[in-house]
Amino acid sequence: MNCIRTITLLALCVAISACDSPDTTLASGGITLKDNIVTLHVDGTPDAQIDANGALVIGDKAVTVTPSQHGLLMLYFQNVSDVHQTGLAMGKIGAGMGMKAINDSLDGKSKSEKDKDAEAGGQRLKTLGIKMCQDQANITDIQDQLGAQLPAFKPYAKIATKHLSDCDKD
């Protein structure tokens, strides 16, 4: 019984730490979200930062943008934030599936009942995975638009994120 409590406590700790984690990393570290700031990292250029209000700072200097560019920067931030939120939701589902599997085993549920539960959780994860992939594809599209419209953003428009066509492969 102590083993079950230990496993349960470990699962809860993992779930809680996932909820409190403010960090998200995309594109092999090219895009990060921390403390409500998206930071873009490109070798040979100063980091660019975008806040939730769509303000762009490159190398500690605020960049003046048009209303259209400002809107795109806000969308960029929102899509990175959406990837983060979706990742948290996926972590919670995964932890819940693990707890359910442990409880189902202890309760003596049949294999078909366990499989049904696992399939339902897997479907929810797949749905969220598709949403995350769409958000990443949106980031790429917005990045391309910003690179075309805003010369200061051009070096950051080359950060490789997923294209929607790659989602089907994953």
According to DSSP H, which parts of 21-170 are helical? 67-107, 111-149, 164-167
**Residue 20 pLDDT more than 70?**
no
Cα gap 152→88, rounded to integer Å = 32
* pLDDT of the residue at 70: 97
* pLDDT of the residue at 95: 86
Tell me, what amino acid is at 48? A
C-beta neighbour count of 13 within 10 angstroms = 11
Beta strands at 56-58 and 61-63: parallel, antiparallel or unpaired:
antiparallel
Residue 167: pLDDT band (50, 70, 90) is low
pLDDT in tens, 36-54: 999 999 999 999 999 999 9
Chain-wide mean pLDDT for the chain?
82
**Residue 12 pLDDT more than 90?**
no
**Residue 21 pLDDT more than 70?**
no
DSSP letter at 56 equals E
pTM value > 0.85? no
